[in-house]
C-alpha cells in the first residue's frame, strides 16, 4: 500500500477521515450567514456598479458606439470601452475572446460597460449608449454550422483496430444519428466580482471563480500588469458546476479595469437574465454512428463522428471534445473503433465546462446505441450491456481506445450486480411486466446503466496542487489550499485530511479562504480532482510538520521519533504506557526549540502521460465506477412521467467523508436527470429580428429539477472494499461521475415508451426527453415502426421502396438509419 493512500493504524472511532460529518459551512448556509462575493459590497465604501451594453442581434459589425449620452445620466461615472484597456483586450486563454469586441458574435454580447454610483444609474446609462449594428449572417445551431463547414480548433480522432473490417464482418450492423442539447449551469449565485486597488497599485479582486490563478492571469494581462501585482480571492461560490472555471475571468477583468481607472471599488454582478444570455453552457453535440454486433450481441466495431457546438469562441471546447472521445466507450470493450471529433462555430454564447466535461456527451452516444439496438438484436438491454463490459482475467489485458489499461474492470460487474441485488431488480422487472399487461394507457419500465469515468485533467500539467499549513503556538491549525469551495464539500474533506494527518481533533483545524498570494499557480477546482490534488498537498504539508514534532516529542517521551504517535490530540510513545503529552504541549515546546511550525505542501499526480496529437496515452489516474437502476411510469396520453425509484451503487474508494459523498452522488444524479429529461435550452432559429436570441432565459422558461422530480424512493450505497491505491487515504473522486448515472432514467423512459408498441419495438428518444419528446416516442412505438424509417442493405445503400422485394420491416441483420424526432415550438 502506498504512503499516500495508507490510513493511520488507529481506532477508527478516533480517525477523522472517513467520518460522516456535516459540511463545514452547513449551518452558515441554512442561516444565511455564509458570505459570498456580492455580500461584501455592503462592507465596501464608495463602490461603483457595472452594467453591460448588450447587442440584440446574433452577429453584426459595430458601426457606431457612442457612449457620450450615458454621461448625461445622473450617477454615471465612467463607460469602459476597448480604448481604456492598457494591456491585452482579450478575456480568453485562446486569445479569441475580445473583452470589448468590434464584431458582435452572439445575441447578448456585451460591447461596453457602464460604471455608476447605483445599479439603476448604471442600467439607465447603458440604455442611453447609442449602438448601431450592421447585421451579418448567423449560424444558430450545430446542423447549420456543419452544413456551412464552420469549425474551429482541433479535429482529433481516437482510433484502434480495423473498423471497416469489423463492420464488414459483423452479422448485425446498424447506423443512426443523434443530436442532444446542452445544459444551463443555473448556479444559485450568478457571476460576480468585486475589485479594489490599494495605495501601491496592488489590485485585489474578490471573484466567484473556480480558477483563481487563471482569473489572476487574465486580469493581469488585461491591465498590463504582472501576476504578483494582482491578488484574487474566492470566499466560496453559490454553485459552479464548471460554469465558473473559465467564464469569470472577463467579468473580474472588467471590475479590475474599472477600479484602476476610477480609483474606487467596482462591483460587477450579473442578474439572472444577463447570466443566462451572456455565459456559456454545456456543449450540445451531434453524432453520426455506425456499429456492428456479432450474433451474441458483442460489439465488433464502432465508427462515429461527433460534433460539439462550441459557440462563438473556443473557450474549453477542445479539452471537452477530447474527454468526450475518451469516454465514448463508457464501460464497454470495443475492439475496433474510430471516433472523429469536430467543434462547430456558432453564434451562441461560448460553451464551456460543465460537470462531466464532455464525458457525459461521449457516454451518451454509446448508451443511446445500446438502447436503440437491444430490441433489434432481440437481447434484453441489461444483458446486452453486461456482455460488452470490460473484463479482467482475459488473455490480453483490455485497454481503452486511447491505450490506457483499465484497472479494476471487475468493479463494473461488482456495482452492476450489487444494484441488481439490492434493488430486487428481477422481481420488480416481472412486476413491471404484469403492470404493463394490465394497463393500456400507462406503462412502466426499469432500466440499469453503468459508469466508468476517468479522473484527472486531460492536460497533464494541471494535475498538481499546493497547500500552506500553519500551526500556531496555542496548537491551533490554519490551512490554505488552492481548491475552491462551491458547496461540494472540498473544504470539509481538507479539514478531515489535515486533522487525521496531524492526529488532532477536527475542532483544532480551521480553513482560510482561497487566494493567490497564499498558494500560487493553482489548477482549477474541476475534473473531480479537487480532493485528490489538494488533499495530497495538504497531507504533504501536515506530514512535514508532524515529522518535526515527532523529533520534539521523542525527547519528552523517551522513545525514538518513529515510535511517536499522534492520536486525537494526545501524543504517546510505543511501549511507554501511561506516559503521554498533549498536542499543545508538544507544539509549545517546539516553538521554544525554534522548530518550524508551518510548511508548504505540494502534490503532483504520478503515472500520467498523454499525447493529444495522436490521442494516445494514460491521461487518467484511475476510473470511478458506478451503476444505477431507475424505475419510471409514463402516461400514454401526454408523455408525462414520474420517477418512481432509484437505486445507486457507486465507487468512491475509501470515502474521505461519506455524508459529503452521498450528497454529491444524489445531487449529481439529479442534475444529470435534469440534463437528460427536463432542461430544454431553446434559441430562436427563425429568420426574424430575434434570430439567435436565447428563448429560455429565466427560471419561468427553463425547467430545473425540483422536489416534484425527485424519486420518492432514492437509495444510494457506497461500494465497499474499494480502496484506491495511490490516492489520498485510498479515496476516489465523486464530483462528476454520478451525473452519468442518470442515463438509467433516459433508458427507462425509452423502454417505457417502447412498451406502448409490439414486443421488440425500438424507439428513438430525443434529448432532453421532455414529456413532449416521450409522447412522440411512444406514438412512434404505437405505429409499430410501419412509417418513418429507411432500411439500408449491408452495402450501406437504401433499397428502393417501390421494390416489392424490399423488406417492409427491419430485420436485425440489416442496417437502419433513424432520424431524431424534431420538436416544433408552438
Catalytic positions, written as ranges: 736
Task: Answer whether 742's CB lies under 8 Å from 676's CB.
Answer: yes
The three grid cell numbers given for residue 382, joined into one nine-digit string: 441489461
- DSSP label at 151? B
CB 306 within 8 A of CB 156: no
Give the E-state strand segments of 27-146 in sequence order. Answer: 48-54, 60-66, 76-80, 103-104, 110-116, 130-135
How far apart CA 756 and CA 6 sit, in angstroms, is 53
**Within a 10 A sphere around the Cβ of 726, how many other Cβ atoms?**
17
The contacts of residue 618 (CB under 8 Å, 6+ apart) are 403, 404, 405, 607, 608, 609, 610
User: How deeply is 795 buried, as exposed, middle or buried, from its count of CB atoms within 10 A (0-12, 13-18, 19+)?
Assistant: exposed
Q: How far is residue 812's CA from residue 463's CA, in Å, rounded to a whole number?
A: 46
Cβ atoms 649, 656 nearer than 8 A: no
The residues that bridge with 174 in the sheet, in sequence order, are 291
**CB-neighbour burial class of residue 624 (10 A; exposed 0-12, middle 13-18, buried 19+):** buried
The DSSP 8-state label assigned to residue 730 in this structure reads: G
For 536, phi then psi, to 5°, come to: -65, -40
Residue 633 and residue 444 in contact, taking contact as beta carbons nearer than 8 Å: yes
Q: How many CA atoms lie within 13 A of 31 on its CB side?
A: 6
Cα–Cα distances (Å) from 18 to 14, 186, 292, in that order, read 10, 31, 45
Cα–Cα distance measured from residue 493 to residue 24, given in angstroms and rounded to the nearest whole number: 9
- In terms of Cβ atoms closer than 10 Å to its own Cβ (0-12, 13-18, 19+), residue 787 is exposed
At residue 717, what are phi and psi to the nearest 5 degrees? -125, 140
Q: How far apart are CA 526 and CA 358, in angstroms?
A: 13
The runs of H, that is alpha helices, within 478-612 are: 490-502, 530-557, 583-592
Q: ∠108-114-117 over CA atoms, to 5°?
A: 135
User: Cell 461519506 appears where?
Assistant: 658
State how far the Cα of 667 lies from the Cα of 673, in Å rounded to an integer.
Answer: 10
Q: Is 504 exposed, middle or buried (0-12, 13-18, 19+ CB in 10 A)?
A: buried
Contacts of 341 (CB under 8 A, 6+ apart): 155, 156, 157, 305, 306, 307, 308, 321, 322, 324, 325
Which strand ranges, in their side-by-side order, compose the sheet holding 230-234? 76-80, 110-116, 48-54, 266-269, 192-197, 203-207, 230-234, 514-515
Phi and psi at residue 175, in whole multiples of 5°? -140, 160
Which residue in the block uniquely carries the three cell numbers 455592503?
42
Buried b / exposed e along 323-362 (16+ C-beta atoms within 10 A): bbbbbbbbbbbbbbbbbbbbbbbbbbbbbbbbbbbbbbbb
Cβ atoms 29, 105 nearer than 8 A = no
Give the three cell numbers for residue 701: 422558461
Helices assigned H by DSSP within 56-210: 119-128, 142-147, 163-169
Amino acid at each position: 500500500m502506498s504512503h499516500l493512500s495508507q490510513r493511520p493504524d488507529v481506532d477508527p472511532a478516533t480517525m477523522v477521515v472517513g467520518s460522516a460529518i456535516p459540511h463545514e459551512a452547513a449551518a452558515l448556509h441554512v442561516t444565511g450567514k455564509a458570505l459570498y462575493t456580492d455580500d461584501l459590497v455592503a462592507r465596501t465604501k464608495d463602490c461603483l456598479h457595472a452594467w453591460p451594453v448588450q447587442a440584440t442581434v446574433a452577429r453584426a459589425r459595430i458601426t457606431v458606439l457612442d457612449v457620450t449620452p450615458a454621461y448625461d445620466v445622473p450617477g454615471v461615472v465612467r463607460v469602459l470601452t476597448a480604448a481604456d484597456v492598457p494591456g491585452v483586450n482579450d478575456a480568453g486563454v485562446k486569445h479569441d475572446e475580445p473583452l470589448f469586441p468590434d464584431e458582435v458574435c452572439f445575441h447578448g454580447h456585451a460591447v461596453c460597460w457602464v460604471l455608476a454610483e447605483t445599479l439603476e444609474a448604471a442600467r439607465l446609462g447603458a440604455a442611453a449608449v447609442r449602438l448601431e449594428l450592421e447585421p451579418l449572417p448567423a449560424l444558430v445551431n450545430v446542423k447549420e454550422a456543419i452544413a456551412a463547414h464552420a469549425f474551429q480548433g482541433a479535429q482529433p480522432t481516437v482510433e484502434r483496430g480495423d473498423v471497416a473490417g469489423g463492420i464488414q464482418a459483423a452479422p448485425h450492423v446498424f447506423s443512426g444519428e443523434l443530436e442532444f442539447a446542452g445544459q444551463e449551469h443555473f448556479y444559485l449565485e450568478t457571476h460576480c466580482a468585486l475589485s479594489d486597488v490599494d495605495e501601491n497599485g496592488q489590485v485585489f479582486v474578490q471573484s466567484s471563480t473556480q480558477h483563481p490563478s487563471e482569473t489572476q492571469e487574465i486580469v493581469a494581462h488585461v491591465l498590463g500588469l504582472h501576476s504578483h501585482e494582482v491578488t484574487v480571492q474566492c470566499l466560496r461560490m453559490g454553485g459552479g458546476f464548471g460554469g465558473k472555471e473559465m467564464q469569470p475571468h472577463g467579468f473580474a477583468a472588467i471590475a479590475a479595469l474599472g477600479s484602476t481607472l476610477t480609483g474606487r471599488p467596482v462591483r460587477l454582478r450579473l442578474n439572472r437574465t444577463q447570466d443566462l444570455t451572456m455565459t456559456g453552457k454545456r456543449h450540445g453535440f451531434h453524432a453520426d454512428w455506425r456499429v456492428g454486433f456479432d450474433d451474441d450481441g458483442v460489439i465488433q466495431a464502432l465508427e462515429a463522428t461527433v460534433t460539439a457546438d462550441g459557440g462563438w469562441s473556443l473557450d474549453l471546447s477542445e479539452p471537452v471534445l477530447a474527454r468526450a472521445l475518451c469516454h465514448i466507450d463508457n464501460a464497454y470493450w470495443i475492439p475496433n473503433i474510430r471516433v472523429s471529433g469536430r467543434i462547430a462555430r456558432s453564434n451562441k454564447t461560448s460553451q464551456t465546462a460543465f460537470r462531466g466535461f464532455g464525458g457525459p456527451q461521449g457516454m451518451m452516444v454509446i448508451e443511446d446505441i445500446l438502447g436503440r439496438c437491444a430490441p433489434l438484436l432481440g437481447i434484453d438491454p441489461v444483458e446486452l450491456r453486461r456482455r460488452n463490459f470490460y473484463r479482467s482475467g482475459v488473455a490480453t489485458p483490455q485497454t481503452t481506445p486511447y491505450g490506457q489499461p483499465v484497472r479494476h474492470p471487475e468493479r463494473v460487474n461488482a456495482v452492476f450486480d450489487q444494484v441488481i441485488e439490492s434493488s430486487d431488480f428481477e422481481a420488480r422487472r416481472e412486476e413491471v411486466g404484469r403492470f404493463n399487461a394490465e394497463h393500456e394507457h400507462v406503462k412502466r419500465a426499469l432500466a440499469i446503466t453503468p459508469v466508468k469515468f476517468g479522473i484527472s485533467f486531460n492536460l497533464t500539467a494541471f494535475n498538481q496542487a499546493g497547500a500552506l499549513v500553519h500551526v500556531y503556538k496555542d496548537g491551533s491549525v490554519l490551512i490554505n489550499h488552492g481548491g475552491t469551495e462551491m458547496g461540494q464539500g472540498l473544504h470539509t474533506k481538507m479539514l478531515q485530511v489535515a486533522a487525521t494527518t496531524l492526529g488532532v481533533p477536527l475542532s483544532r483545524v480551521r480553513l482560510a479562504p482561497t487566494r493567490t498570494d497564499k498558494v500560487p499557480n493553482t489548477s482549477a477546482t474541476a475534473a473531480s480532482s479537487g480532493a485528490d490534488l489538494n488533499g495530497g498537498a495538504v497531507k504533504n504539508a501536515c506530514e512535514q510538520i508532524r515529522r518535526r514534532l515527532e523529533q520534539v516529542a521523542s525527547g519528552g517521551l523517551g522513545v525514538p521519533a518513529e515510535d511517536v504517535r499522534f492520536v486525537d490530540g494526545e501524543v504517546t510513545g510505543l511501549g511507554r504506557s501511561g506516559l503521554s503529552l498533549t498536542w499543545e504541549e508538544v507544539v509549545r515546546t517546539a516553538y521554544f526549540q525554534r522548530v518550524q511550525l508551518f510548511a508548504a505542501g505540494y502534490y503532483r499526480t504520478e503515472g500520467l502521460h498523454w499525447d493529444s496529437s495522436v490521442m494516445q496515452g494514460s491521461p487518467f489516474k484511475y476510473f470511478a465506477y458506478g451503476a444505477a437502476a431507475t424505475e419510471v411510469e409514463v402516461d400514454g396520453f401526454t408523455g408525462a412521467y414520474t420517477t418512481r425509484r432509484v437505486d445507486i451503487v457507486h465507487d468512491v474508494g475509501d470515502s474521505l467523508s461519506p455524508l459529503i459523498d452521498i450528497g454529491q452522488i444524489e445531487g449529481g444524479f439529479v442534475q444529470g436527470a435534469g440534463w437528460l429529461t427536463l432542461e430544454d435550452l431553446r434559441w430562436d432559429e427563425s429568420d426574424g429580428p430575434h434570430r439567435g436570441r436565447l428563448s429560455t432565459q429565466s427560471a419561468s422558461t427553463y425547467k430545473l429539477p425540483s422536489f416534484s422530480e425527485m424519486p420518492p424512493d432514492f437509495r444510494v450505497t457506497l461500494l465497499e472494499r474499494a480502496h484506491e491505491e495511490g490516492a489520498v487515504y485510498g479515496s476516489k473522486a465523486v464530483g462528476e461521475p454520478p451525473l452519468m448515472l442518470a442515463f438509467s432514467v433516459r433508458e427507462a423512459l425509452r423502454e417505457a415508451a417502447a412498451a406502448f408498441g409490439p414486443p421488440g419495438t425500438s424507439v428513438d428518444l430525443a434529448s432532453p426527453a421532455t414529456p413532449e419528446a416521450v409522447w412522440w416516442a411512444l406514438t412512434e412505438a404505437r405505429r409499430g415502426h410501419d412509417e418513418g424509417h429507411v432500411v439500408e442493405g449491408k452495402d450501406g445503400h437504401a433499397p428502393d421502396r417501390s421494390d416489392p422485394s424490399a423488406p417492409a420491416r427491419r430485420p436485425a441483420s440489416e442496417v437502419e438509419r433513424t432520424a431524431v424526432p424534431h420538436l416544433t415550438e408552438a
